Amino acid sequence: MCPSPGTGAGERGYVIPIGGAEEKLEHPTILKKFVGLAGGKKARIVIIPTASRLIDTGPRYVKIFEDIGVANAKFIPLETRADCLREDYLELLHQATGIFITGGNQLRLSTILGGTPVAQAIRRLNADGMPVAGTSAGAAIMPEHMIAGGDSDTKTPTEDGVTLSPGLGLTNSMLIDQHFTQRNRLGRLLTALSFNPFVTGIGLDEDTAAFINAKGEFEVVGSGVVTVVDPSKLSHSSMGSVRQGDPVSLFGLRLHILAAGDRYDCTTRTPVSAD
Amino acid sequence: MCPSPGTGAGERGYVIPIGGAEEKLEHPTILKKFVGLAGGKKARIVIIPTASRLIDTGPRYVKIFEDIGVANAKFIPLETRADCLREDYLELLHQATGIFITGGNQLRLSTILGGTPVAQAIRRLNADGMPVAGTSAGAAIMPEHMIAGGDSDTKTPTEDGVTLSPGLGLTNSMLIDQHFTQRNRLGRLLTALSFNPFVTGIGLDEDTAAFINAKGEFEVVGSGVVTVVDPSKLSHSSMGSVRQGDPVSLFGLRLHILAAGDRYDCTTRTPVSAD
């Protein structure tokens, strides 16, 4: 799904995928920057804990945002597709100045939210300027094409190495993977990219975020790196002919390692240094 | 150290780094191909088990090569630098048609063999046509610059993420890392490359080898992939200015994933497909 056109009245809001395990207590750099974009102390943050099966995930993030200084942080317990029709929850979303989607299982997010008024609201509100942040599963759900699962660790690219699913479609210029270095996910991101190399692959380390602005440029924030794999100059791929389980050949990928402060323009596919 | 010029009488022998854990029993594809280059059934293979502290490593590989059909396989137990002066061992090397260096700790190899007549003999014999294969630590020792150690797993590139040491210098066009996908070593290979991006980085998966010929081209053999990182077009690196422990930015790397049958020309930095 392409990003919503929204009302076209203003600039699109930031899309902020976070690689999971973001620092929450001592130096919550990423969360603070998100709160700043959402209005600072006057922010009204709505938390969507649907990906998580832990009942304290919502209340926990409320406390985290309150500790950062946000006066108004609430979670909406969307546990079923029926919950995603509730007017009171939709009203909370419309009154918010920022939306935060927690980690867990991205397939819970997509199966519960997908196609509902809540998903539609998130898409439209973001198009009209509201920043939307998500960590881990909450980051995975953001693009048009979501990495739903696949092999982490010890895996080279293979035809069956990844499962894709439709995502929220807040961006359609990238594929996002998270816990990237920590879970050795280069292989599965390469697999996902090789299916149709029109997007850019974004591998987010833990405690690391990409703050994507309305122009499709992002800045790296956090303690790890963002691994950008640009397959647009791919000169050879054996994905179309390889036997199931056999490793896939991919020639001519471009690779950029971006640390805090570095930026990347997804349209021109150009990295810009923090220096 | 640059590769030995040898006598210049013939073609340089194959250099065959293997990523460790090569298949030894059912389908020893890599070892068989090495034996073929060393003369097949008439091969005289000398095994150097120095990297390993296990006393059965030498005899074990003798048995493995015998099972492949090699009539003459011997190991030389080089345990000390004094052993590397022994005329009988040097004589065995000169009578060999192929040399195999086992896995273990590459710093044992470099500290025991480095600068001795044995190291000199391996370099000269290879320059004059003898194939030299090595697995894991035996692969690491081959280039001019050896990855002696560093962080595997969960590591982005950092200034202190890798330790380099002088290697045997059988090739000076590449840096080699092994157990590559299995141990998540992209970060440390990138660190090593970033110090001075004049070489190509070769990440060898387990049960996967690069057969490097006299022209500096290699073919991939085995069940995994070879990850080639070409930093020659690097447009930005923060390695010179980054604080210790902080992640390093690297823009403009080229990345190729090569599977069995694919080839790479280290001189022109061009991959060629198996198709």
A7 vs A99 pLDDT, higher one: A99
Q: What angle do CA B186, B192, B198 make, to 5 degrees?
A: 115
Query: With bands split at pLDDT 50, 70 and 90, how would you rate the model's confidence at A7?
Result: confident
Phi, psi torsion values for B247, nearest 5 degrees: -70, 150
**CB-CB neighbors (< 8 A) of B232 in chain A:** none
For the question of residue B232 being annotated catalytic, the response is no
Residues on A contacting B at a C-beta cutoff of 8 Å: 153-157, 181-182, 184, 186-187, 190, 205, 223-225, 229, 235-236, 238, 241-242, 246-260, 262, 271, 273-275
Mean pLDDT of A197-212: 95
Locate A251 and state its tokens.
């020639």
**Tens-digit pLDDT profile for residues A163-178:** 888 999 999 989 999 9
Tell how far CA A269 is from the center of its chain: 18
pLDDT band at B151 (very low <50, low <70, confident <90, very high): confident
Indicate whether B155 pLDDT > 90. Answer: no
Q: What angle do CA B126, B104, B256 make, to 5 degrees?
A: 65
Which of A54-68, A166-180, A199-213, B149-163 is predicted least confidently? Answer: B149-163
Strands B98-101 and B132-135: parallel
Average pLDDT of the residues in A135-149 = 94
User: Chain A partners of B182 at a C-beta cutoff of 8 Å?
Assistant: 154
Between A158 and B233, where is the model more confident?
B233
> pLDDT class for B245, splitting at 50, 70, 90?
confident
**A261 pLDDT above the threshold of 70:** yes
Beta-bridge partner residues of B247: B158
Is A136 among the residues known to form the active site?
yes
Helix, strand, coil % over all residues of chain B, rounded to 5: 25, 30, 45
Q: How far apart are CA A262 and CA A220, in angstroms?
A: 6
Q: Quick one: pLDDT band at residue A138, thresholds 50, 70, 90?
A: very high
| Domains (range + CATH), chain B | 15-266 (3.40.50.880)
Taking the CA atoms of B224, A253, A166 and A108 in sequence, report the sign of the dihedral they define: positive
> Which entry of A4, A52, A110, A136 is annotated as an active-site residue?
A136
For residue A41, with 0-12 CB atoms within 10 Å meaning exposed, 13-18 middle and 19 or more buried, which class applies?
A: exposed
* A interface test, pick of B182, B229, B251, B273 with most A CB neighbours within 10 Å: B251
Residue in A with minimal Cα distance to B208: A247
Q: How far is A87 from chain B (nearest CA, A)?
A: 44
pLDDT, chain A, mean: 93
- Among B225, B244, B265, the strongest candidate for a mutation testing the A interface, having the largest count of A CBs within 10 A, is B225
Partners of residue B273 in chain A, C-beta under 8 Å: 236, 238, 249, 251
Q: Measured between beta carbons, which residues in chain B are less than 8 angstroms from residue A252? A: 254, 256, 271
Percent of chain A topping pLDDT 70: 99
**Nearest-angstrom CA–CA distance, A122 and A209:** 19
Residue B179 clears pLDDT 90, i.e. is over it = yes
More confident residue, B240 or B73: B73
Mean pLDDT, chain B, rounded, equals: 93
| Sequence-ordered alpha helix ranges (H) in chain B | 29-37, 57-68, 87-95, 106-113, 117-127, 137-140, 186-195
Q: Look up A11 and say whether it is catalytic.
A: no
Confidence (pLDDT) at B153: 60
- Minimal Cβ distance to B224: which of A156, A182, A251: A156
The alpha carbons of chain A give a radius of gyration, in whole angstroms, of 18
**Model confidence at A201, in pLDDT bands (50, 70, 90)?**
very high
Best CA proximity match to B5, nearest among B166, B103, B153, B125: B125
Which residues of chain B does A205 touch, with a Cβ-Cβ cutoff of 8 Å? 156
Which residues in chain B have their CB less than 8 angstroms from residue A190's CB? Answer: 257
Say what the pLDDT of residue A94 is.
97
pTM assigned to the model: 0.91
Residue A153: the pLDDT is 60
CA of B152 vs chain A CAs: smallest distance (Å): 10
The pLDDT value recorded for residue B160 is: 78
Is residue B104 within 8 Å of B137, Cβ to Cβ? yes
Whether complex ipTM tops 0.90 = no
Over 60: is that where the pLDDT of A154 sits? Answer: no
- Among residues A81, A42, A48, which one has the least CA distance to residue A62? A48
The stretch B93-119 carries a mean pLDDT of: 96
Residue with tokens 């439209």: A124
A70 pLDDT more than 70 = yes
Q: Which of A52, A145, A159, A179 is catalytic?
A: A179
Residue pLDDT, tens place only, B60-90: 999 999 999 999 999 999 999 999 999 999 9
Whether B184 sits inside 8 A of A153 (CB atoms) is: yes
Higher pLDDT, B184 or A269: A269
